[in-house]
Amino acid sequence: MKSLKQLLERVEYTLEQGELEKEIQYLVYDSRKVKENTLFVCIEGTAVDGHDYIDMAVEKGATALVVTKDVTVGKEITVIKVKDSREALAYLSAAYFDYPADKLKVIGVTGTKGKTTTTYMVRSVLENAGYKTGLIGTIEAIMGDEVIPAVNTTPESYLVQEYFAKMVEAGCEAAVMEVSSQGLKMHRTDGFTFELGVFTNLEPDHIGPNEHESFEEYMQCKGMLFKKCRHGIVNADDSHYKQVLEGHTCTVETYGLNPGASLQAVNIELVKRPGYLGIAYDTVGSYQGHMEVDMPGKFSVYNSLAALAICRHFDVEEATMKKVLKEAKARGRVEKVETGKGYTVLLDYAHNAMALESLLSTMKEYQPGRLVCIFGCGGNRSKLRRFEMGEVSGKLADYTIITSDNPRDEEPKDILADIETGMKKTDGNYCMIEDRKEAIQYAVDNAKEGDVIIVAGKGHEDYQEIKGVKYHMDDRELIKDALQNAGV
């Protein structure tokens, strides 16, 4: 238990009323979780305003409030006024958990693509090198033996600090986390300093209502990471990297495929064998060696280069780097499912046109017998995304199987029809099979030697959401069942 004064030691605030010398047992930003001796932080969200729940919080035992508006409560309640309650929550959370990030080397990875794969690569290398390492990201949070499925790429600041505290308790020395632009914008990573900040790439994404007003704002939010870290590692091949670094307060090193990068990949070679796609390259600059990665595509070079650049700061031995990066995998990111056949099946989280185009273009470089793409689109989402994805697959895949994803509150057939609208702008061959299990079975039953089958859209997800209910559905299981049933 800490005093309110201790929790506020790094927060800029005005004491509106009450005492600071009172013991606080709980720090809460959800009024439903308030108990006796709680400090309740009123967050103004897009749909809900915490200030509307002050009476409920006080009734349940809140003895202090953090607010951004004028409020009227009993004199026994301490009222702290701040400029931004999300920012205050981050610093309060750090103090509440006794500044756990100060006991860890925290690595933050930001960018439009590559965050998940890069963080898993880094964790694998560091763990194999003897550094117990926690992880926070799109798929899950890993804190020693405890694993919690993710809701947001970057959780609310209170959870970030709670996860760091659990990592410290589990004996972790390092933590690697995905840092979203929304997370940076909403102060979820305030209250501590990253040891390393990493930038992978930038493309227009997350622009619209309740996200970013413009590409410029999206870019500026990504750049916040480099004012919160000691050392920056950036992809120098990305045309926006200098703008992302504007105003940075850290040292900077670069990686990329072009000359001039601190760490450069050269002699890139596509590796193709029956049922296997990978990539190999040499490095020059800050690390010199030969690398092979069991994941296909140029983006796998970038992701593994970023991991190399990061792990160099931990003095990881070359043999460990090579061994682990060759085998490193991220669930649902160009994930290969063993077929035992002469064709390759990959599943990936690509769920917008930009990601799908990158994925299919990469696979075409391997000159497959046929490139087959299975995908759907989520319900309650933009129709434009459906048109665009249909058009991308129609142009790049040799054959497309349009199927269902998470229909949510929409009728699956309506979503499929929207995708077909985009598909019809091309000469691409396709069919429509609403049931995802049947769609995957059809692809496997008709697979030929040398084919590459892409199952896109769901990646790490293990459910299908229909009318507000999540039903178990895992593409890995569907693929394995289809392989067992092939030819039966």
Which has more confidence, 214 or 22? 22
Residue 38: predicted pLDDT: 98
Task: Tell me, yes or no, whether 32 and 151 share the same domain.
Answer: no
Mean pLDDT for 201-220 is: 69
Q: Which residues contact 313 (CB under 8 A, 6 or more apart)?
A: 195, 196, 231
> What percentage of residues in the chain have a pLDDT greater than 70?
98
Tell me the mean pLDDT in the region 97-126: 96
Does residue 312 carry a pLDDT above 70? yes
355 and 311 part of one domain: no
For residue 216, the domain's CATH number is 3.40.1190.10
Q: What is the mean pLDDT of residues 86-102?
A: 98
Q: Identify whether residues 222 and 365 lie together within a single domain.
A: no
* Mean of the per-residue pLDDT values of the chain: 94
Least confident of 99-113, 161-175, 198-212: 198-212
| Buried/exposed 359-397: b ≥16 CB within 10 Å, e otherwise | bbebbeebebebbbbbbbbbbebeeebbbbbbbbbbbbb
Angle subtended at Cα 381 by Cα 375 and Cα 382, rounded to the nearest 5 degrees: 95
Q: How many domains does the chain have?
A: 3
Determine what percent of the chain is predicted with pLDDT higher than 90.
89
15 and 78 together in one domain: yes
Q: Report d(CA 291, CA 305) in Å as an integer.
A: 9
Residue 176 shares a structural domain with residue 139:
yes
- Asked if the model's pLDDT at residue 285 lies above 90, the reply is yes
414 and 364 both lie in a single domain:
yes
Helices (H) and strands (E) in the chain, counts: 15, 26
pLDDT at 487 over 90: no
Say what the pLDDT of residue 488 is. 45
Q: Can you read off the two tokens belonging to residue 385?
A: 């995304």
**CATH code: domain of residue 414:** 3.90.190.20
- Give the tokens for residue 455: 């199952």
Of 70, 96, 122, at which residue does a domain stop?
96
Position 212 scores a pLDDT of: 53
- 107 lies in the same domain as 247: yes
Tokens of 137: 């990201």
> Is residue 141 domain-shared with residue 219, that is, in the same domain?
yes
The DSSP result for 392-432, as a single string, is HHHHH-SEEEE--S--BTS-HHHHHHHHHHHHTTS--EEEE
| Mean pLDDT within 430-442 | 98
Largest interatomic CA distance in the chain: 77
Q: Which of 67, 96, 125 is the last residue of a domain?
A: 96
Same domain, 312 and 457: no
Of 327, 343, 364, the domain-final residue: 327
Q: Is the pLDDT of residue 295 over 90?
A: yes
**Whether residue 43 is found in the same domain as residue 22:** yes
CA–CA distance, 380 with 426 (Å, rounded to integer) = 25
Q: Is the pLDDT of residue 141 over 90?
A: yes
What CATH number did the domain enclosing 69 receive? 3.40.1390.10
Rounded Cα gap, residues 202 and 30, in angstroms: 33
The model's pLDDT over 313-352, given as tens digits with 9 standing for 90+, comes to: 999 999 999 999 999 889 999 999 999 899 999 999 999 9
**pLDDT per residue as tens digits for the range 145-189:** 999 999 888 899 999 999 999 999 999 999 999 999 889 999 999
Tell me: pLDDT of 18 over 60.
Answer: yes
65 and 116 belong to one structural domain: no
| Structural domain containing residue 79 | 2-96
Residue 204 has pLDDT above 80, yes or no: no
**In this structure, are 86 and 113 located in the same domain?**
no
The whole-angstrom distance between residue 51's C-alpha and the CA centroid of its chain comes to 31
What is the spatial distance between Cα 206 and Cα 213, in angstroms, rounded to a whole number?
A: 9
CB 109 within 8 A of CB 200: yes
Q: CA-CA distance, 100 to 142, in Å (whole number)?
A: 15
